[in-house]
A and B are shown apart, each in its own frame.
Chain A
C-alpha cells in the first residue's frame, strides 16, 4: 500500500505576467497536519504562489492537487469551499462590520441561505444561525477576542485584527490554512502567542498549515518543513535544520562572500 497521500501536491507551478516569470517550476508537497513554511527574499514570488494556489491567479502552467483533486484554474471561492483558506499580507477584515459579523459572513456558504427560510424565520433558519453564532463564539474565545465580539472590527488593535483574521478563516472549517506573513507587525509577545495558536491549530484541530513568514525565529521553531524560493525558483526544501545548513540558502540570504 502506498504511504499517506499528500494533502497538497503542487508540481511545476509556473506563473507568467507577460514577459515576467514570477514563479518558475515550484514544487510543493504538504502532508496532512504538517506545518510548512515558505521563505525567501522579498519579491521572490511567495505571495504569487499563494495567489495561484488559492485561485486568485490562474497559473500559466503546472498542476495543483488538493486532497487528490485538480484545483488549478478554479475560481477563488470554489477553492475556499474545498477547505483551503488563506489570510492576506495586509489585514482584510470587513472593517465596518462587528467582530462577530465578520465570522458570520465567513460562514455564509455553510449557513441556511434559502430566501424563504430567512424571510419567515423558520426553525431551520434559526438553528443554522445559532450554530453559526456558537462556532463564532468558540473561535473568538480561542483567539481571545470574545470580549470584543460586538465591537466594530476596525476598532481592534492591529494584533487583534490579525487574530480575528485567523478566527475568520477557522470558522469556515478548513483543512489547509494558509497564512501570508501572519507575524508581520506583531511585537515579540504577540508573535509568541501566534506561535502557540498555530501549534494548537495543528495539534488539537488537526489542521495543516502553510505559511509565508520572514520571522526566522518563528519559522525555525514551528515548521516541520521549509521551502525556500528565490526569484520565482525553488531553491531548497527540507527540515529547518537542513535549511539552516544549506549553502545555497545562506548565499541567497546573505549574498555571495
Chain B
C-alpha cells in the first residue's frame, strides 16, 4: 500500500461522491411556478457512500488485486496441437459442413419465433461480413455503413411502390444502387485516413437517414413505406390467397396453408444470401485484390512503389462492402414489409461495427459468432433493455482488455509455394 495508491484512492472516492452526489443525490421538483432542490432519500445516500467506499478500497488495494488477478490461471490458450488440427483444410471443411447442416435443419426444429430470430441473425451476419470487407480486410474504418443498408432497403421499397418491381429484380437493383453510392462516396473520401475517414463516413450515414426523413415527396418521410411485397419463390407467393395472376406456394404443392412456410422461406433465403456472401468473400481473400487489401493495410507507400493504385483498391473494398449492405437492406425491407428511416440510425452502424470488432477483424467465423451473440443477447435479456447500450459498452471494454484481437482472430488463407 503505497502513498501513491492512497492518493489515487482518495481522489477516486471524491470523484464518485462529487459526481453521483450531484447526479443522483439531488433532485429537482416542481412546486408552484418554480423548481426547488430536494435531497434524495437516505437509501440513495447509502448507495453513494457504498460506491465511494468501494472505489476507495479498490484503488487502495489495486496492486494486490492485480497480483491476484494475474495469479489466476488465464483463459486457457488452445494447445498447439489443437490449433494444428483446426487449421487442417479437411477439418475446416467438415466444420463448415456441420455449420451449414445445422443452419439447414434449424427451422424444422425451432418454432416460428426461433426461425424469425435466426433470420434476423442472418441479416446481421450478412451486414457484418460486408462491413468486415471494409474494416477488417481493407482497414478502412467506416462508421456510416448503415447508410448503404438504407440505400438498399429504400431502393427496393421505392421500386416496388412506384414501379411494382418484384423482389428478385429489386435485389439486384438494391445491390447495384448501394454499390453506386459506395463508389460515389468512396471517391472523395478515400484520400482521408483513420479518424478523418471515420468521421466523414459517420456523416454520410446520417445524411442518408436525414435525406430519407425529409424527402417526404418521395419516401413519405418518417411515416415510412409500407406494403413492400414479400419475396416469391419462382413466382409462387407465400400468402393465403394469391394476388391476380399469381399462384401461392401451398396451392402449387397442394399442401395446407401455413404462415410458417413464409417464415421458413425467408430464413432459407437469408441463408442462401449469407452463403453467397461467404463464398464471394472467401474467393476475394484468395484473389489478387484480397492480397492487395492486406498489403495496403500494412504499407501503403510500398504498394504505390510497386504499381498498385491505392485509391482504386480501397474503392474496390468500399464498393463491394456497400453492395452486400444493399442486398441485406433489400432483404430486410422485404422481410419487414415496412421500413422507415428509424431503422437506419447510427446505433445500427455501431452494432454492425461491434459485431466485426467483437468477432475479430477480418475473421468470418468470428463475425458469425459475434452476430449471433449481439442479436441473441438483447432478445434473451429483454428485461434489461434499458441497459442495452451500457452492456454493449461493458462488453467492448472487456473485450479490449482480454481479447483485443476479437473472439476468433482472422487467419487469412495463405497461398503456398509448392516446389
Residues of A within 8 A of B (CB): 54-56, 75-78, 80-81, 85-86, 88, 92-98, 100-101, 104-109, 111-113, 115, 118-119, 121, 125, 133, 136-137, 140, 146, 149-150, 168-169, 172
Contacts of B307 in A (CB 8 A): 77-78, 80-81, 85, 106, 108-109, 172
**Chain B contacts with A in 262-304, Cβ cutoff 8 A:** 280, 283-284, 286-289, 291-292, 294-295, 298-299, 301-304
What band does the interface of chain B fall in when counting residues whose beta carbon is under 8 Å from A? 20 to 34
- Please give the distance in Å from A98's CB to the nearest CB on chain B: 5
Q: In the complex the two chains form, what is the Cα distance from A168 to B306 in whole Å? A: 8
Taking a contact as CB atoms under 8 Å apart, the answer to whether B304 and A101 are in contact is no
Looking at the complex, which of B6-14, B187-195, B410-418 is the stretch in contact with chain A?
Answer: B410-418
Set of chain A residues within 8 Å of B31, measured between Cβ atoms: none
Chain B CB within 10 A, most for which of A76, A109, A172: A76
Identify the closest chain B residue to A99 (Cβ): B417
A119 engages B289 (CB within 8 Å): no
Known: A94-B294, A98-B414, A121-B283. A108 touches B288 (CB 8 A): yes
Residue contact A105 to B417, C-beta cutoff 8 Å = no
Q: Are A96 and B416 in contact (CB under 8 A)?
A: no
Instruction: Mark each residue of chain B from 299 to 315: 1 if its CB lies under 8 Å from any CB of chain A, else 0.
Output: 10111111111100000
Asked if B416 and A109 sit within 8 Å, CB to CB, the answer is: no
A136-B417 contact, Cβ under 8 Å, with A106-B306, A109-B307: yes
Within 8 A of A (CB), among B144-192: none
Can you name 10 A-B pairs with beta carbons within 8 Å?
Answer: A54-B305, A85-B306, A97-B295, A97-B298, A98-B416, A100-B417, A109-B307, A118-B283, A118-B286, A150-B417
Report how far A92 CA is from B308 CA in the complex, Å.
Answer: 15
Contact at A96–B294, with CB atoms within 8 Å?
yes
Give the CA-CA distance A77 to B415 in the complex, in Å. 25
Chain B residues near A81: list those with CB within 8 A: 307
Q: How far is the CB of B191 from chain A (nearest CB, A)?
A: 12
Say which residue of B295, B301, B310, B414 sits within 8 Å of A105 (CB atoms).
Answer: B295
Assembled-state Cα–Cα distance A146/B280 (Å): 31
Q: Mark B228-266, 1 if CB is under 8 A from A, else 0.
A: 000000000000000000000000000000000000000
**Bound Cα distance A125, B292 (Å):** 16
- Min Cβ gap B85→A in Å is 19
Q: A80-B305, A101-B291 are in contact. Are A137 and B417 (CB under 8 A)?
A: yes
Closest to B309 in A: A77
Task: Name the CB-closest residue of B to A141.
Answer: B419
In the bound complex, do residue A76 and residue B305 qualify as a contact, i.e. CB atoms below 8 Å apart?
Answer: yes
Known A-B contacts A54-B305, A97-B295, A105-B295; A77 and B288 likewise in contact (beta carbons under 8 Å): no
Q: Are A94 and B298 in contact (CB under 8 A)?
A: yes
Partner of A100 from B284, B294, B308, B415 at Cβ < 8 Å: B415
Contacts of B287 in A (CB 8 A): 113, 115, 118-119, 125
Contact B303 A105 (CB under 8 A): yes
Please tell me if the beta carbons of B414 and A146 are within 8 angstroms of each other in the complex. no
B306 contacts which of A105, A125, A136, A137 (Cβ < 8 Å)?
A105
- With a cutoff of 8 Å between Cβ atoms, the chain B residues found around residue A76 in the complex are 304-305
